[in-house]
Amino acid sequence: MWTRLREDVRVVFERDPAAKNWLEVLLCYPGLHALWIHRVSHWLYRRRRYTLARLISHLGRFLTGIEIHPGARVGSRVFIDHGMGVVIGETAEIGDDCTLYQGVTLGGTGKERGKRHPTLEPEVIVGVGAKVLGPITVGRNSRVGGGAVVVRDVPPNCTVVGIPGRVVVRDGRRVDPLAHGDLPDPVQEALRSMQRTIDRLEARLQELEDRARAARETQEQADVRQAAAGS
């Protein structure tokens, strides 16, 4: 646990040039506090203590201005800078080493059920005020510009800006929307989309297996307690 906490603090120094010393970081970085509170609420959520998990997440929101649903999956070395107004939905997934700025929403479009929030692959940066909506995937090492509204998948190593979000940089090259070589390959996009669906289904299956295991363990503990009370 201490290793993880130290890593969280180190990440702040790496990504925020304004961070001066350990004490300041420990006391004055709401993004850090929100992630720590989220770990507790997520732990409870996975054990189906939904109301307590939600209550703790609500207290976290009150203290930090950052709302992370207890069900959201957040990777390692994630950094939320400033944080005020960040909203992260129940089925959102944030990969390792991602950075979010203030006012970011990882939300649903209101049209889906089940997995309805975005997935950020590792090393994604989401700029101030950007909205990433729906069960879409932002590919590894991509950047979402401040103020963008992204409603479609973003391939890896891209910069996406504007409303609706459009890719302006891909693999370090400016994208000319009219250049033939930059037109999207529909077959590749379809394969990527299928792969992402498979990944999502696998993650969902894993989650259901985890829940079933937790339920079995709870039941077993209850049986043991009942047997002990009876003897």
Ligand X SMILES: CC(C)(COP(=O)(O)OP(=O)(O)OC[C@H]1O[C@@H](n2cnc3c(N)ncnc32)[C@H](O)[C@@H]1OP(=O)(O)O)[C@@H](O)C(=O)NCCC(=O)NCCS
Write each residue from 159 to 178 as x if it is in contact with ligand X (CB under 6 A), else as -, in one continuous string: x-xx-----xx----x----
- Of 26, 87, 128, 149, which lies in the binding site for ligand X, with binding defined by CB under 6 A? 128
Q: Are strands 131-133 and 149-150 parallel, antiparallel or unpaired?
A: parallel
Number of residues counted as binding ligand X (CB under 6 A) = 14
Residues numbered 39 to 78 that lie near ligand X (CB under 6 A) are none
* Cβ 175 vs Cβ 159: under 8 Å: no
The sign of the CA dihedral 103, 109, 113, 116 is: negative
Q: How far apart are CA 131 and CA 127, in angstroms?
A: 9
Helix (H) or strand (E) holding 213: helix 186-230
Question: Which two structure tokens, joined as six digits, stand for 8?
Answer: 């969280």
In whole angstroms, the minimum distance from the beta carbon of 47 to ligand X comes to 35
| Angle in degrees, CA 129, 85, 49, rounded to 5 | 130
In whole angstroms, the minimum distance from the beta carbon of 184 to ligand X comes to 18
Residue closer to ligand X, measured from CB, 57 or 102: 102
- Of 127, 135, 139, 165, which lies in the binding site for ligand X, with binding defined by CB under 6 A? 127
Residues 6 or more apart whose CB falls under 8 angstroms from that of 60 comprise 33, 34, 37, 38, 41, 66, 67, 68
| Contact window for ligand X (CB under 6 A) among 3-11, 67-75, 155-163, 209-217 | 155-163
In whole angstroms, the minimum distance from the beta carbon of 158 to ligand X comes to 8
Write each residue from 82 to 121 as x if it is in contact with ligand X (CB under 6 A), else as -, in one continuous string: x------------------x--------------------
- Of 89, 95, 108, 145, which lies in the binding site for ligand X, with binding defined by CB under 6 A? 145
Nearest to 60, CA basis, from 32, 95, 94: 32
Residue closer to ligand X, measured from CB, 56 or 133: 133
Q: Indicate whether 79 belongs to the interface with ligand X (CB under 6 A).
A: no
CA distances to 6, 76, 85, 168 from 36, rounded to whole Å, are 12, 11, 17, 35
What is the chain's length?
231
Residue closer to ligand X, measured from CB, 71 or 118: 118
Residue closer to ligand X, measured from CB, 42 or 143: 143
Helix (H) or strand (E) holding 35: helix 30-46
Binding site for ligand X (CB under 6 A): 82, 101, 127-128, 143, 145-147, 159, 161-162, 168-169, 174
